[in-house]
Amino acid sequence: MWAVVYIAPSKKIAEQIQDLLQREGVLVKLRGYGFDQDENSFVEVLVPEAEAGEALELLNAII
């Protein structure tokens, strides 16, 4: 199962977070959020449930 660890306000920010987490060895998946999915739509950042704690620690350190 996958867990949402962050909801980014745009695809660009979601991709930056994805890159950061992947560099730390965390598997990441992005999923569009809402009805209008374009460059400025919200994007969910998902990680495997087993890695959610580590991902949240990394995000808290940078945000």
Task: List, in order of start, the domains of the chain with CATH numbers.
Answer: 2-62 (3.30.70.1530)
Q: What is the pLDDT of residue 30?
A: 97
Q: What is the pLDDT of residue 25?
A: 97
pLDDT digits (tens, 9 = 90+) for 49-62: 999 999 999 999 98
Q: What is the chain's Cα-based Rg?
A: 11
Q: Is 7 helix (H, G, I), strand (E, B) or coil?
A: strand
Dist. CA 27–CA 43, nearest whole Å: 16
pLDDT digits (tens, 9 = 90+) for 28-42: 999 997 666 566 789
Q: Which helix (H) or strand (E) holds 23?
A: helix 11-23
Q: Which helix (H) or strand (E) holds 41?
A: none
Q: At which residue do the structure tokens 């959020």 appear?
A: 33
